[in-house]
Amino acid sequence: MMNKISKPQVEAELRKFVGADVYVHSEATSFVFVRNFKVNVTEALIAGEGRYRAALRFDGHGWLRMEELTHYEVDGRGRLLLAGYDDRGRMNVALHLGREPFPE
């Protein structure tokens, strides 16, 4: 079940990935997705109200930024699954972080 983003909770969950090698699924639905990019996260940030922006700094010189995030879930495997839906349940964006590769 996807929960509406609570900024303090998601911020705390993001922080757990800082300093670690992280596998990323990042997606702007219909246009692009990447799955299992592996990066070393140096900063993980969230900003905004209601519809949120998240950003990762990685590998000492990289950025990944996504906006329009609305929901999240920390699943049974400790993966942080962020997604942005429209008002009718269609997904626009996704940002998933995990310590193991996501199933291909």
Asked if 25 touches another protein (CB under 8 A), the answer is: yes
Residue of the chain from 13, 22, 27, 52 that contacts another protein (CB under 8 A):
27
Asked if 80 touches another protein (CB under 8 A), the answer is: no
Using CA atoms, how far apart are residues 62 and 52, in angstroms rounded to an integer? 20
In the bound complex, what is the minimum distance in angstroms from residue 34's beta carbon to another protein? 12
81, 80, 104, 103: which is closest to 18 by C-alpha? Answer: 80
Q: Which stretch binds another protein (CB under 8 A): 9-17, 40-48, 49-57, 87-95?
A: 87-95
Using CA atoms, how far apart are residues 39 and 48, in angstroms rounded to an integer? 24
